[in-house]
Amino acid sequence: MTSGPLSADTTHQAEELLALLTLRFTPQLGPRRIENLRERFGSARAALSMPLTELRHTPGLDAKSLSGIGTAKPAQQAEAELGKLEREGITLVGRGLPGYPAALDALSDPPAVLWVLGPLPELPTVPRAIGVVGTRAASPHALALTRQIAADLARSDITVISGLARGIDTAAHSASIEAGGLSIGILGSAVNMIYPHENTALASKLTLISEYPLGMGPAMHHFPIRNRLIAALSAATLVVQGEWKSGSLITATHALECGRTVFAVPGLAGDPRAAGPHRLIRDGAVLTESVQDILNEMGWGQARTAPLPDLPPEQARVLAALDAPATLDSLQASTGFALSDLQTALVMLQLQGLAEEVGGRWVRR
């Protein structure tokens, strides 16, 4: 008895999605203008049916942006795109329709449509997700710390979101997946145009999101735009390394504009890659050395660390103490071992591939 209403509702949603995609392909219509149309007329579908006399009163629209609305080419492009999506198993989600992340309400310019490849979790207004960003030219220590935090986030059922770039992004995605978590890559290209190419295998294990049509390659101006999605889709953003002016700082700025928390990892004085996090910490970002700093600030409880392997008591104690990168002095203080015993335990852990020294600190692998 419910098949009629359900069918009608499904048809309405499909028509609205097509209308949103048509507006997305209309020249001179960006996210803000499309949202203005949707708000003024109640739906994208209604906006497309309006005469020019009604459309011209929409805030933010001028004669140039009005000229393409309702023309044939955008509608043809939208129809063709939907056909490609069905063939390639890619999902399109539209503003105001089921499946569209509520977290994007934090933006002043939420995308009209998103292309999604892979399972998309629910991303409510404050999602259980952390954005992890940083430089492509990260130090070994920063990469090791990123991997440790991302893995601990995954084990605590927290989604890791990043941009699939080299360096920090790659470390965050891969460690999250290896720990059994869900990781989302926000692209500056289409979901079927992976960049960088060496991350193609990694991308196949992620959920990919883009606001760019199929076949569109990466472009420099796409990446600052995609950074706002990382910020909005995450409850908070962690900046591990980044120069004074960098994409990481852009993401952090978007996070603050969305009312999100910003975490930053301190680095070595004088290292240009530490300039961004140090600036953020001075401006009020939460100084972060381990996942517990994030969980405490967000009120998400205790970290669920990886189960320790069956080790001799001394090695197990040292490995348990490596919940954050640590120097020999700090490990000696936390374990109470004599220096020679501590060094022996660390060497044995290193030989088993369970720990390594990076930049003068020991980290759990």
What confidence tens digit (pLDDT) does each residue in 86-131 have? 899 999 999 999 999 999 999 999 999 999 999 999 899 989 999 9
Residue 1, pLDDT > 60, answer no
In whole angstroms, give the CA distance from residue 58 to residue 122. Answer: 32
Average pLDDT of span 320-341: 87
Residue with the bigger pLDDT between 330 and 264: it is 264
The rounded mean pLDDT for the chain is 92
Tell me the mean pLDDT in the region 53-71.
Answer: 91
Per-residue confidence (pLDDT) for residue 3, from 0 to 100: 46
pLDDT bucket at 2, cuts 50 / 70 / 90: very low
Q: Is the pLDDT of residue 217 over 60?
A: yes
Other Cβ atoms within 10 Å of 345 Cβ, number: 24
- Give the model's pLDDT for residue 350: 87
pLDDT at 306 (0 to 100): 66
Least confident of 92-106, 148-162, 277-291, 297-311: 297-311
Q: In the predicted model, what is the mean pLDDT of residues 295-306?
A: 84
pLDDT mean over 150-174: 97
**What is the distance between the alpha carbons of residues 24 and 16, in angstroms, rounded to a whole number?**
12
User: Tell me, what DSSP letter sits at residue 336?
Assistant: -
Task: Look at 169 and 309; give whichever has higher pLDDT.
Answer: 169
Distances (CA, A) of 177 to 25, 250, 342: 34, 26, 32
In the chain, what percentage of residues exceed pLDDT 70? 97
Distance CA 82, CA 94 (A): 13
Confidence of residue 302 (pLDDT cuts 50, 70, 90): confident
pLDDT digits (tens, 9 = 90+) for 346-364: 999 888 888 888 777 888 8
Percent of residues, the chain, with pLDDT higher than 90: 75
Whether the pLDDT of residue 7 is over 80: the answer is: no
Question: Residue range 14-40: average pLDDT?
Answer: 96
Rounded average pLDDT over 13-33: 96
Contacts of 88 (CB under 8 A, 6+ apart): 192, 214
Residue 219 has pLDDT above 80, yes or no: yes
- pLDDT at position 30 is 94
Domains belonging to the chain, first-starting first, are 3-88 (1.10.150), 129-298 (3.40.50.450), 313-364 (1.10.10.10)
Note the pTM of the prediction, 2 decimals.
0.85
